[in-house]
Amino acid sequence: MSSIIHVQDLVKTFKIYHDHKGYLGAIRNLFDRKYDLVHAVDQINFDIHPGELVGYIGPNGAGKSTTIKMLTGLLVPTSGEVRVNGYIPWKERKTYVKHIGAVFGQRTTLWWDLPLSDSLTLLQHIYEIPDPLYKKNLAMFREILELDAFMNTPVRSLSLGQRMRADLCAAMLHDPKLVFLDEPTIGLDVVAKERIREFIQFINRERGTTILLTTHDIADVAKLCERVMIIDHGKIVFDGKLDHLLRTYGGRRFLSVQFAEIYPEPVLENADIIKMEGNNVVYSFMRDTVSASHLIHKLSESYRIADLEVNDQPIEDTIREIYEKQLLYNHNHDKKNPAS
């Protein structure tokens, strides 16, 4: 199957100027302007196939938004190649945007002072959406996203959750083949997040829309994405199934035991004691090394147990460990010798 998004050796480098201050400084700036280079996106490669819903994650400043801005044609790459649905985004932006939708959670793409309904009408004209399609989509999104209560409210007065639903509607009105979502759940409460997730899933499943989703909430990815790409310091450090990522790096489990009496040192082979308070002890162990049932069996041979519980490490913690320890650098072919 051919890809709908093709990214090859993509680079975006920003120049940050340090200007000399004052009047004389202004003159110096003319011939001696100092700058630093920020390698926001540093030689990335990936392909996305039609109908995929891919999670694009990474720590703050990793290069996610910069990537999305290049894919939507808002930024021109320093070098490399981007082809989306047959277009070079920044070259053919006017026609290109009719085929894509984009939501930037950090700022709205709607007109701040206009009532939502007017913003949507304007978009119909900009995207040249035929009347029947516009009416059909608007009716559907009004219902699913529950927009009716604030259709006549100026966008600037909408709550964050309402604004996000409005932006999602605006991004989908013209039936785009592809949608770029940059933090569509940022700052929302649990219920609002869930509603947005359901909408994203609906668009992907029912319409086969290809979606690239950026988020800091790993629950978004766990719920929605089979495939995940992790970017860090401008480089893609993982691209594969979320399952695989968690199996490889998230194998840690916890066994919490309440003993029937206090034991001074209830050691257990293949498991570390990470917490001990009276007769309550928490062990940590790796899924690949030993099974929970084996550990429980061993414990009960030597000690009297009142109660116990086994838990997996939460996905959030696994991902945080990956960011913090830069575990994945070992898997990155051009960083064979991790600096840390």
Ligand X SMILES: Nc1ncnc2c1ncn2[C@@H]1O[C@H](COP(=O)(O)OP(=O)(O)OP(=O)(O)O)[C@@H](O)[C@H]1O
* C-alpha distances out from residue 278 to 25, 259, 304, Å: 67, 9, 14
Binding residue for ligand X (CB under 6 A) from 42, 55, 63, 164? 63
Q: Are 109 and 155 in contact (CB under 8 A)?
A: no
Q: Are 25 and 19 in contact (CB under 8 A)?
A: yes
Binding residue for ligand X (CB under 6 A) from 7, 52, 54, 58? 58
The residue (of 14 and 263) whose beta carbon lies closer to ligand X is: 14
Check binding of 236 to ligand X (CB under 6 A): no
Check binding of 36 to ligand X (CB under 6 A): no
Partner touching 66 among ligand X, Mg ion, none, CB below 5 to 8 Å by kind? ligand X
Check binding of 187 to ligand X (CB under 6 A): no
CB of 65 to Mg ion, least distance (A): 3
Whole-angstrom distance, CA of residue 289 vs CA of residue 135: 58
Which tokens is 214 given? Answer: 């950026």
Check binding of 61 to ligand X (CB under 6 A): yes
* C-alpha distances out from residue 306 to 181, 258, 275, 284, Å: 49, 5, 17, 19
The residue (of 58 and 89) whose beta carbon lies closer to ligand X is: 58
Residues 6-35 that bind ligand X (CB under 6 A): 14, 16
Partner touching 144 among ligand X, Mg ion, none, CB below 5 to 8 Å by kind? none
Partner touching 105 among Mg ion, ligand X, none, CB below 5 to 8 Å by kind? none
Distance of CA 270 to the CA centre of its chain: 35
The residue (of 40 and 173) whose beta carbon lies closer to ligand X is: 40
How many residues bind to ligand X according to rule CB under 6 A? 12
CB of 105 to Mg ion, least distance (A): 9
Check binding of 40 to ligand X (CB under 6 A): yes
Binding residue for ligand X (CB under 6 A) from 11, 38, 114, 122? 38
CB of 111 to ligand X, least distance (A): 23
Check binding of 293 to ligand X (CB under 6 A): no
Binding residue for ligand X (CB under 6 A) from 54, 55, 65, 255? 65
Partner touching 14 among Mg ion, ligand X, none, CB below 5 to 8 Å by kind? ligand X
Check binding of 204 to ligand X (CB under 6 A): no
Contacting positions for ligand X (CB under 6 A): 14, 16, 38, 40, 58, 60-66
